[in-house]
Chains A and B, each alone.
Chain A
């Protein structure tokens, strides 16, 4: 594609000096000619920057709306252990939600990562061609199910089942949320991990098989280690998705703002707190700003995990020269 950028006399990365001869020759009419013929590059560059503008807007406005609460309760207040915005005195400690998000995410990944990697290995290394296509389509469909439907499924089917199975007073627990989140993260992890495995050059596999290794030994000892950074990237991206997931968790996690390590208790997550409480709070109140502060925490986690994942995935691509 770089070749094309060099067409029309555009050489090198610096670009051509603007040809001003028409102006010298024809004055104003020459200027019009330049504008007519060379408007396209700067205009498209400006339009291409719209994603950056969007990202900038997000950062600016989420931070701006969060700052007042920091001024009021300070960083220490925000990282307190009690979240009780309607109490007297009100407290806005975000730790219960951070702990809730961490608990459900970790529990979800504990089964989503092994399952996702295994499914990826099956699709990339074991399955015959037709089954590969079917499995990929199923993953794609699973990834396309809206999160509110996962939440609905969890609320109507999984939560009652867990309630009976564990004899709980409510089926809406961290465990339910973890299971639903794990199912949701599975297609992301599996398809990215599959990309990573496919990126490993075939010569690696051939060399291993030529040394007498079985296909399984090759997968375990050669392909997986070679794709390692891509697999890590897939896992991190899955984690980012799980932390940022809102509707499903909101519907099944039970939403009690408590710090617990028990999966059988209800928890409230960062996303759940924002979605649940933003509708009930007055714009401009301390509570409103505190919810934006939760948004800042969430946004920072998302950007960091996303950046890390991209870096790991890029490392794999660089390693195998693609």
Chain B
């Protein structure tokens, strides 16, 4: 009798567990479905617009025909500028946090600063760019102002990645360098930093994928609705792919005519971001596999 009740309890426990696990699995599948739905809609609607022409020509006839060339170039400039401006500062910050700091209040303050910066909404970066870079520094709505704004936005991402990369370098490397008589800076420059470069590169890739798709920070600081030529100086406005997608989707004069163009542009951006992200994932896996110190 007791054995029967116990067996009944065991069975119920198993059934409940099976149901619960099925629900957990289903929830995870929902994330797959969301990603799948986005990918599918972009590809099925946008693939027909893709061609070499589309990538390499200017928009024509009030942006109802033609391609996305200037937006691609503009996004490239903005992203490259942001990474170039942000990377040295991020690596220096990480070097101090990982190699020089001795704990204590200032480290905590800087960490809170980095974390808070990472949590600031992207539109607020846009406001800062407008108030400070565009207005106070007098850069105007320009490539430089946009790149500076994006540089601040990706700074915390780069700092975290660089710090992690530096932290993964074994202590014995440093001790070896010091034992050979190197000063601390010499050891960092010639031994620690070179060993951390692959890890820092992961951060760069993540920063690129973030900067390339951001729209809100460049809306008031750099982006142009339409340009008939490529930007030539740092003080030129630029077209950017994410902003182009936004403008086309919300203000296009002829929805039916431009629908496939819009999906095409969205597909290009999605493809670029996915490729960059996949690159980061595989690169990181490779670094971790190879560097078994």
A residues neighboring B (CB under 8 Å) = 1-8, 10, 12-13, 15, 37, 40-41, 44-45, 47-52, 54-55, 57-58, 61-62, 64-65, 114-115, 118-119, 121-123, 126-127, 135, 137-142, 144-153, 155-157, 183, 186-187, 190, 214-217, 219-220, 237, 240, 243-247, 251, 271, 274-275, 278-279, 283, 291-292, 295, 298-299, 302-303, 305-307, 309-310
Given A127-B28, A149-B38, A149-B245, 16 additional A-B pairs, CB 8 A: A40-B100, A44-B100, A45-B100, A55-B113, A114-B27, A146-B212, A146-B242, A148-B242, A152-B246, A152-B266, A186-B34, A237-B119, A240-B119, A278-B130, A307-B112, A307-B116
Tally A-B pairs: CB < 8 A.
290
Point out the residues of chain B lying under 8 angstroms from A186, CB to CB: 30-31, 34
Q: Establish whether residues A37 and B266, one from each chain, have CB atoms under 8 Å apart when the complex forms.
A: no
Question: How far apart are B237's CB and chain A's nearest CB, in angstroms?
Answer: 13
B269 touches A146 (CB 8 A): yes
Residues on the B chain within 8 Å of A135, using CB: 28, 31-32
Are B103 and A251 neighbours in the complex by a CB distance under 8 Å?
Answer: no
- Tell me the bound Cα distance from A305 to B115 in angstroms: 12
Annotate B77-107 by CB proximity to A: 1 below 8 A, 0 otherwise: 0000000000001001101111111111010
Can you list 16 A-B contacts with CB-CB less than 8 angstroms, sorted by A residue number?
A: A44-B92, A44-B100, A48-B97, A51-B159, A58-B128, A123-B28, A138-B35, A142-B34, A145-B273, A148-B213, A148-B246, A153-B38, A246-B123, A274-B123, A302-B121, A305-B119
Point out the residues of chain B lying under 8 angstroms from A119, CB to CB. Answer: 24, 27-28, 30-31
Are A157 and B123 within 8 A (Cβ)? no
Which of B31, B128, B250 has a CB less than 8 Å from the CB of A139? B31
Tell me the count of chain B residues lying within 8 A, CB to CB, of chain A. 99
A10 to B103, CA, bound (A): 13
Contact A247 B277 (CB under 8 A): no
User: Taking the nearest CB of chain B, how far is it from the CB of A139, in angstroms?
Assistant: 6
From B25, B122, B209, contact of A126 by CB (8 A): B25
Neighbouring B residues of A115 by C-beta, 8 Å: 27, 30-31
A187 adjacent to B31 (CB under 8 Å): yes
Kindly provide the distance from the CB of A50 to the nearest chain B CB, expressed in whole angstroms: 5
Q: How far is the CA of A106 from the CA of B273 in the complex (A)?
A: 29
Residues of chain A with a CB closer than 8 A to B41's CB? 153, 156-157
Q: How far is the CB of B138 from chain A (nearest CB, A)?
A: 13
B50 within 8 A of A: no
Q: Is the interface of A mostly helix, strand, loop or mixed?
A: helix
Asked if B7 is at the interface of the complex by the 8 Å CB criterion, the answer is no
A299 touches B124 (CB 8 A): yes
From B131, which residue of chain A is reached at the shortest CB distance? Answer: A61
Residues of A within 8 A of B136 (CB): 61
Instruction: Give Cα distance in the complex from A291 to B126, angstroms.
Output: 12
Q: A215 with B17: in contact, given A54-B152, A153-B41 (CB under 8 Å)?
A: yes
Any chain A CB within 8 A of the CB of B58? no
Q: Does B201 contact A (CB under 8 A)?
A: no
> Any chain A CB within 8 A of the CB of B68?
no
Residues of chain B within 8 A (CB-CB) of A61 are 127-128, 131-132, 136
Which 6 pairs between the two chains have the least Cβ-Cβ distance?
A: A146-B213, A244-B121, A306-B119, A118-B27, A47-B92, A48-B96
Q: Smallest CB-CB separation from A3: which chain B residue? A: B171
- Give 1 or 0 for each of B196-215: 1 = CB within 8 Å of chain A CB: 00000000000001101111
Is A122's CB under 8 angstroms from B28's CB?
yes
Is B56 an interface residue when CB atoms closer than 8 A count as contact?
no
Cα-based distance from A152 to B273 in the complex (angstroms)? 15
Residues of chain B within 8 A (CB-CB) of A240 are: 119
A138 lies within 8 A of B120 (CB): no
Q: In the complex, which residues of chain A have a beta carbon less than 8 angstroms from the beta carbon of B17?
A: 214-217
Task: Report yes or no: B38 in contact with A145, Cβ–Cβ below 8 A.
Answer: yes
Asked if B27 contacts A298 (CB within 8 A), the reply is no
Tell me if B227 is interfacial: C-beta within 8 Å of chain A. no
Asked if residues B184 and A40 are in contact (CB atoms below 8 Å), the reply is: yes
Beyond A2-B102, A48-B96, whether A144 also contacts B25 by CB under 8 A is: no
A interface footprint on B34-60 (CB within 8 Å = 1, 0 otherwise): 110110011001000000000000000
> B263 near A156 (CB under 8 angstroms)?
yes
> Is B102 within 8 A of A246, CB to CB?
no
Nearest CB in chain A to that of B102: its residue: A5
Known: A13-B103, A135-B31. A51 touches B155 (CB 8 A): yes
**Which residue from chain B places its CB closest to the CB of A142 in the assembled complex?**
B35
Chain A residues near B20: list those with CB within 8 A.
216, 219-220
With known contacts A48-B96, A135-B31, A5–B101 Cβ distance under 8 A:
yes
Tell which of B28, B178, B185, B266 touches A149, judged by Cβ atoms closer than 8 Å.
B266
> A295 and B124: CB pair below 8 A?
yes
